[in-house]
Chain A
């Protein structure tokens, strides 16, 4: 489809356009948000414009290589977080390591909180759960069921309590009973819902957790961009603190539902700069993995 123009002086925008358009389409087929696919293609075009094409290469493969490099660069975490190490540091300081799970409704916060609890247990870490979704029907019983199955203590105060206060009491309890980690479940909320976002930033402000984990589902389309940017923006704008806490990392769920449409991973990391720390890929406790950057990039470009 794209002819070779080896030997031609310098690459111009018009030479790159057909290959970039095809690539943008491919990324969107894989569920990369339109805005992100567009920006990526622009940056690839920018990096190639004016460059000489190596002899005997096609424009399409030059573009593909440049894109591959860009994707690896974006998906490889710039700040790395080693939870296990940080948990041990906190332990030496005799305070529990606190993780807050946040995200929109139904993405898998509570289920994946239980998976993370199981994973920590496997590393001989004492975990406690805090049932701070005091709103959604069945949320407390849901977490209690996981706690019972995993034989993990749970701190709960039923429904309609202020979640920020429940979290605070949970952390105090954990300090008393020597738990290493507190996993705080929160209610799902839409990124545009100002009162609920305000309540979340209060919870984070009051409890200064060690890790704010954004839970997002791999099924999400263009909304991925809006979810992450608004969560960060609202956490910044609505916090009483002059230096508010933002999203530290991403937990990507429902990876088992999407076949090769892995684009949400890219959209989320691109827009937030936060690393994907865990990937949920099923409904049992063992279905928690690390992100495989190579395989994501390969799938995106296939």
Chain B
């Protein structure tokens, strides 16, 4: 995964520091400068990067470190902790249970990959013996229902939607009720793309959530998004109870650092990543192994279990 490059850059910066004979303020600053640059090249929100820099500097007070302490170790630990804090919100997301009906609502910016990911998510569970169903509550985008319908048909998953009804609220409620009666255990509600500047559409999203009472709201975001990711993710979180994130288009070249920022803004974990346009281009994402893979080279291993 391309995000792994970030791990490489950070490790290199620390290596350079390790090679220095004396670790003084200059060495620390140079190391932080390189880490900062790597994070910014990966689209991590600039505010988060600056916070991280300040926090590390505060923790690593070079003058107060008594002689004999392992300064390098302390600096590494500080960087490790700060990165973990950014990536890991510390609480797992709601996990639907097979056989017990759950409603999962997909939200996100225009074109982020919601409809595609809805089907992938349904298909992923269907393969494991679930009974998923798809509800198309996007009555806005041209061809939205056809898109969901064609995807669902390919995967042999029941779907609900309408060519004529223009009220997403009505369709969402009817669809969820229909599939509850049919004993589906994973009812997935796809919604239109929207952004925070569209106040009325945010209100509509809030109403759909209120009416369908989703057990989980998944925020879908494109891995190529830049500095706007944080504010948008935060706005979604403020309007609906975002509980998890799916990062899409990880098969591209984008470094996915916007995802790090979104995680921080939504305080929710990334649970899956999209890696292509096909139904099974979908991978489970686990924060802990990811962090260890990101930083899990040589020197880092000792820090993992603390």
Contact = CB atoms under 8 A, between A and B. Distances in A.
A257 B111 contact: no
Given A138-B148, A191-B252, A230-B253, A107 B225 contact: no
Contact of A105 (B144, B195, B249): B249
Contacts of A107: 111
Contacts of A136: 147, 277
A190 B251 contact: yes
A4 interface: no
B112 A106 contact: yes
A141 to B, nearest CB: 4
B232 A257 contact: yes
B226 A29 contact: no
A207 B257 CA distance: 38
A114 B142 CA distance: 11
Q: Which of A35, A105, A108, A144 has the most chain B CB within a 10 Å cutoff?
A: A105
A171 interface: no
B146 interface: yes
Nearest to A230: B253
> Chain B: interface residue count, which band?
35 or more
4 smallest CB-CB distances across A and B, nearest first, come from: A221-B226, A138-B147, A142-B143, A106-B111
A190 B142 contact: no
Nearest to A106: B111
A19 B303 CA distance: 38
A222 B41 contact: yes
B22 interface: no
Interface of chain B: mostly helix, strand, loop or mixed: loop
B113 interface: yes
B109 interface: yes
29 contacts: A28-B46, A31-B226, A31-B228, A105-B111, A105-B249, A105-B277, A106-B112, A107-B111, A108-B110, A136-B277, A137-B151, A138-B145, A138-B147, A138-B149, A141-B143, A142-B142, A142-B147, A149-B142, A219-B226, A219-B229, A221-B229, A221-B257, A221-B258, A222-B255, A223-B253, A261-B226, A263-B226, A264-B226, A283-B140
Given A142-B146, A221-B43, A263-B226, 6 more contacts: A105-B249, A138-B144, A138-B149, A142-B143, A259-B197, A261-B226
A141 B41 contact: no
Given A138-B147, A142-B142, A222-B43, A190 B249 contact: yes
Contacts of B37: 34
Contacts of A138: 143-150
Nearest to A38: B37
Q: Which of A104, A108, A138, A145 has the most chain B CB within a 10 Å cutoff?
A: A138
B268 interface: no
A23 B272 CA distance: 37
Interface string A141-154: 11111100100000
B111 A221 contact: no
A221 B197 contact: no
Contacts of B195: 254, 256-257
B131 interface: no
Given A106-B112, A142-B141, A192-B252, A261 B227 contact: yes
A221 B253 contact: no
A135 B147 CA distance: 11
A94 B2 CA distance: 49
Nearest to A147: B142
Contacts of B147: 136-139, 141-142
A146 to B, nearest CB: 6
Contacts of A139: 143, 147
Contacts of B77: none
> Chain A: interface residue count, which band?
35 or more
Contacts of B232: 257
A180 interface: no
Contacts of B41: 34-35, 222
Interface of B: 37, 40-43, 46, 109-113, 140-151, 154, 195-197, 222, 224-229, 231-232, 249, 251-255, 257-258, 277
A30 B150 CA distance: 39
B253 A191 contact: yes
A156 interface: no
Given A29-B46, A190-B252, A137 B227 contact: no
Contacts of B258: 221
A220 interface: yes
A270 B144 CA distance: 35
A218 to B, nearest CB: 8
A123 B226 CA distance: 36
Contacts of B251: 190, 192-193
B146 A222 contact: no
Given A25-B46, A106-B112, A257-B197, A221 B252 contact: no
Interface in A65-97: none
Q: Which of B226, B229, B253 has the most chain A CB within a 10 Å cutoff?
A: B226
Contacts of A141: 142-143, 146-147
A261 B228 contact: yes
B8 to A, nearest CB: 16
A209 to B, nearest CB: 24
Contact of B227 (A28, A144, A149, A230): A28
A148 to B, nearest CB: 9
B252 A223 contact: yes
A136 B42 CA distance: 29
Contacts of B252: 104, 190-192, 223
